[in-house]
Structure 1
């Protein structure tokens, strides 16, 4: 139930997002009719079709991608006809006549079905709107879609997506009720009903043009990136089933009383108990250590770090986790990394082992390829930190990047509570390099972008995305946050694979850093590439994995830092060309 509430509130917050703008004309065009027969069915149809299509897109195969493309085309045609009908009474009469005839027949046979055609038409228009709606993927929607991709198609996924869509429909319904009354007053007092109708029709056609040009998933997405993310993160923190520090549960209060009665240890932390820590059972293998059990760790303070090695957010937390492991290893802290994969290549243990060497990670790492530890902790985040006290209770958590001083203070408190002579000290200042350096949040205007068709968005090549097919693509000038391919590629569910040398990827972005997850493919041979920025050598704007001329080599499947803007952050055109065939490209991330 809590997750449904979170999804619903995430939908409500979309009213603050610019990505809602393209569908507003479609919705406001129904304000003239009664709410129950016009507006409500349209919003219900929008929510239902969005939930169904988003479920299929998250877990379906190439057939789902093609079905969605055809559905969007049909929706554009239907809504275009609707927009023209608002501009022209003659067209409206011709389009409405079949529905009127059907209504007359139904009324004759049933006597009470005069509203059926109106309700049906509103449902159809709502379903078409749901096919075109592309909400900005903030933390809450990203969490729901990631869960769908990991767990497969099920009723829970559909209910969560429907709850999200219902949340978006709620403020729209309120706005429509108010807007309908305003329009009614304007028509009565000013006599401009037909002019309002024509303006709405023009707005509908303008929105369709914006959607066809990709502005709904390009410009508006980057404008919205920072507008609701902080609100959504606050919702996640407040409603997550684990209580926040400072809001102790009944169990926490009981434990506090027990700790107060315990006079053996002078220091008592105010961190609440969040329940018993699950067992670290289910790992397919352990690296840097023999398997660890809760019994072996009893009496120690344990930091459990959920991560995956190509996740940029995880990579940026590694310097801190590494520094804590070193600083407090003799004070009673044990750091346990739980590597839970997002992509299939992250399940290969040799890849993880190589990543541990690259990141200089020496603490134990459990390979959680079957998600057994992930599910035992009821975790939903990369990265996520859980602090377990000496008695085996979870006392603190941190989801995502940030709050490093607070996390270190919690480590110090639990070590002192366990009897260590750890004194409060200044937070660590880790030696972070390359992709490990923290993001420049004030200048990020681009978000994570997947190249596999299962979660691809903003694809700008004129040929369109061809799922599970080898196809020759060409570049088109993309909008901001749009990307495209050139050359011969096969786009799979998780990655795009280059089948002939000379192909490339282009992306128009705004951020200090640009990263791209790349791999050498099944052959495993090094793949040479060259990066240009605005058509020129990167120079001082090169990332840590290329030289000043833009040259680099894909030697392993991992995240490559390709751009770090050295001066003012501006919108740039990134292009990478591969001199050899076989490269696999998975996802862009930014910092």
Structure 2
């Protein structure tokens, strides 16, 4: 019950999150209507649709992503009509005729036609708005879905999803109630009712246009999420504590296991049939892996956090392979170039990965596990039961202890653990976690943050940009002619630059060659000088390098005290694809 209350509170605070802003105009457009016949049905439709879409995702049913995507465009079309009806009364009259006829047929025996029509219309608009709101899912929802993945879709999961949705619409209801009072006061004192209705219609249409073109995403990239970050983070910690406490009472702890306490059963190994291809192995199935201890690792080859886990996975595969351990990599792409199986095959060769890797381009295995993270690994015993999992970097000692314990359960006595420590090199080396002051930063406009050039980004078009006079810490800027796309930015002419003011030992940049595969030369500087001894694994001491294939490039590894630095990369040729910065 306490977890359901926490989910409700998480939903309440969702209204403060920037990602819910595009939904607000649609809700406030009806804030002057009666609560029982207009606003309450709207909120019911909104909460119901949201819970349905996220519930399908929690159950791991194929097609949930497609439902959300197609439903988004259907919802936008419906809400555009709604906005036009508010703005132009003649459109409202025409739209009312078919809707009234449909309502008459549905409610032919009803004695309250007007009320029924209003309720049905409000619920329909609420359902459309719920499809737009479904992507606005914070950490609390992630905990709920993770619980569903590990323990199956059950009434607790459904109740938590419903509580999350009810919490969010409750805070919206309070806000619109205050809005209704303001509207009523304006009507009484100034007679603004008609003007307000038209203004809300125009605002709805502008919101629809912003969402359809992706402008809302680019705008919200510059809106800080601080109001909810701390609150949701605290609620997530409480939720995880409650969840772990509940599971301890049921004999099933989730993440931290004190060896040699018996590892809990967290579920069954899901199907691996969602793979579109297999590398380094014939196709594997859950049944074929029965009798083996299995580590299933979700990763993608340009993810720096994933790369830093590889030394451990490769070591475990080698160290315990003869004892019955199988490591299975599940490559689930983030960027478009990672869907190219040829690129993944090349990455496996460069990274010396020999264990089986499933190509999960359709996210089939990802959904089967209910996974939400890169990297993530799940450890499965010889009977096909998930016994341990970990999300993100770290936890390697506990994971290896779990492997050894499950191998021992399977009849392979383990000698005392006194193995040599695992060490990676280049981009696979462990991060300097004590001194990272910069976060992953996307360059494409869909997820970009911290952009500091004086010019506004012109999406999907060549435009000239300049560097600002001062570049604040953790901000970046373009210089020269660039074409900024949703996923990556491309220099449209030679001598184009990117500058980033960062604080970390390492700086990486995900880069790709031209669309036709031609290499692109580049040169980097640190504080205006060649990197020298602080050059990364993919650049020379004089700062020169070349983009030959799409992957993560390590460009800076400071060899002295970590400090605030200004990094700059100049592309000597046009056409490079620049995706994201990461640090270590």
The TM-score by the shorter chain falls in which range? 0.5 to 0.7
Task: Note if contact 2:7-2:141 (Cα within 8 Å) is conserved in structure 1.
Answer: no
- Further displaced range: 427-436 or 441-450: 427-436
The answer on 1:351 being equivalent to 2:339 is no
The answer on 1:581 being equivalent to 2:574 is yes
Q: Which residue of the partner structure matches residue 40 of structure 2? A: none
Cα distance in 1, alignment partners of residues 167 and 505 from structure 2:
33
Cα distance in 2, alignment partners of residues 317 and 233 from structure 1:
25
Distance apart, 1:142 and its partner CA: 9.8
Q: Which residue of the partner structure matches residue 450 of structure 2? A: 458
Say which of 282, 287, 304 aligns to 1:312.
304
Cα distance in 1, alignment partners of residues 494 and 506 from structure 2:
27
The normalised TM-score by structure 2 is 0.62
Cα distance in 1, alignment partners of residues 463 and 166 from structure 2:
35
- Paired residues in the alignment total 414
Task: Note if contact 1:470-1:491 (Cα within 8 Å) is conserved in structure 2.
Answer: yes
Q: Which residue of the partner structure matches residue 530 of structure 2? A: 537
Q: CA RMSD in A?
A: 4.4
Distance apart, 1:554 and its partner CA: 0.5
Cα distance in 1, alignment partners of residues 371 and 365 from structure 2:
9
The normalised TM-score by structure 1 is 0.61
Distance apart, 1:539 and its partner CA: 1.3
Task: Note if contact 2:514-2:520 (Cα within 8 Å) is conserved in structure 1.
Answer: no
Q: Which residue of the partner structure matches residue 478 of structure 1? A: 471
Q: Which residue of the partner structure matches residue 509 of structure 1? A: 502
Q: Which residue of the partner structure matches residue 329 of structure 1? A: 321
Q: 1:421–1:432: structure 2 CA closer, same or farther, 3 Å change rule?
A: same
Say which of 266, 275, 287 aligns to 1:295.
287
Cα distance in 1, alignment partners of residues 477 and 375 from structure 2:
29
Distance apart, 1:378 and its partner CA: 0.5
Task: Note if contact 2:142-2:372 (Cα within 8 Å) is conserved in structure 1.
Answer: no
Say which of 554, 559, 566 aligns to 2:552.
559
SS of match in other structure, 1:497: strand
The answer on 1:408 being equivalent to 2:389 is no
Task: Note if contact 2:143-2:240 (Cα within 8 Å) is conserved in structure 1.
Answer: no
SS of match in other structure, 2:445: coil
Task: Note if contact 2:8-2:165 (Cα within 8 Å) is conserved in structure 1.
Answer: yes
Cα distance in 2, alignment partners of residues 557 and 316 from structure 1:
18
Cα distance in 2, alignment partners of residues 298 and 325 from structure 1:
17
Q: Which residue of the partner structure matches residue 217 of structure 2? A: none
Deviations 1:71-105 (A, max 9, x none): xxxxxxxxxxxxxxxxxxxxxxxxxxxxxxxxxxx
Counterparts of 1:485-496 in structure 2, within 5 Å, are 485-496=478-489
SS of match in other structure, 1:247: helix
Task: Note if contact 2:221-2:448 (Cα within 8 Å) is conserved in structure 1.
Answer: no
Distance apart, 1:249 and its partner CA: 3.6
Say which of 503, 528, 533 aligns to 2:521.
528
Cα distance in 1, alignment partners of residues 516 and 238 from structure 2:
45
Distance apart, 1:470 and its partner CA: 1.3
Where in structure 1 are there 5+ consecutive unaligned residues? 20-47, 52-57, 64-134, 145-155, 174-215, 254-266
Distance apart, 1:557 and its partner CA: 0.5
Where in structure 2 are there 5+ consecutive unaligned residues? 19-45, 51-67, 74-135, 145-157, 176-219, 254-258
Cα distance in 2, alignment partners of residues 426 and 230 from structure 1:
37
Distance apart, 1:423 and its partner CA: 2.5
Counterparts of 1:339-488 in structure 2, within 5 Å, are 339-426=331-418, 429-476=421-468, 477-488=470-481
Which consecutive aligned stretches of 4+ in structure 1 deviate over 3 angstroms post-superposition? Answer: 1-15, 137-144, 162-170, 216-221, 223-240, 243-246
Distance apart, 1:377 and its partner CA: 0.4
Q: 1:14–1:396: structure 2 CA closer, same or farther, 3 Å change rule?
A: farther
Distance apart, 1:236 and its partner CA: 7.1
Say which of 257, 271, 286 aligns to 2:278.
286
Distance apart, 1:445 and its partner CA: 1.3
SS of match in other structure, 1:528: strand
SS of match in other structure, 1:466: coil
Deviations 1:8-42 (A, max 9, x none): 54986999x9x9xxxxxxxxxxxxxxxxxxxxxxx
SS of match in other structure, 2:343: helix
Cα distance in 2, alignment partners of residues 245 and 421 from structure 1:
32
Say which of 490, 493, 497 aligns to 1:500.
493
Cα distance in 1, alignment partners of residues 542 and 463 from structure 2:
30
Q: Which residue of the partner structure matches residue 248 of structure 2? A: 247
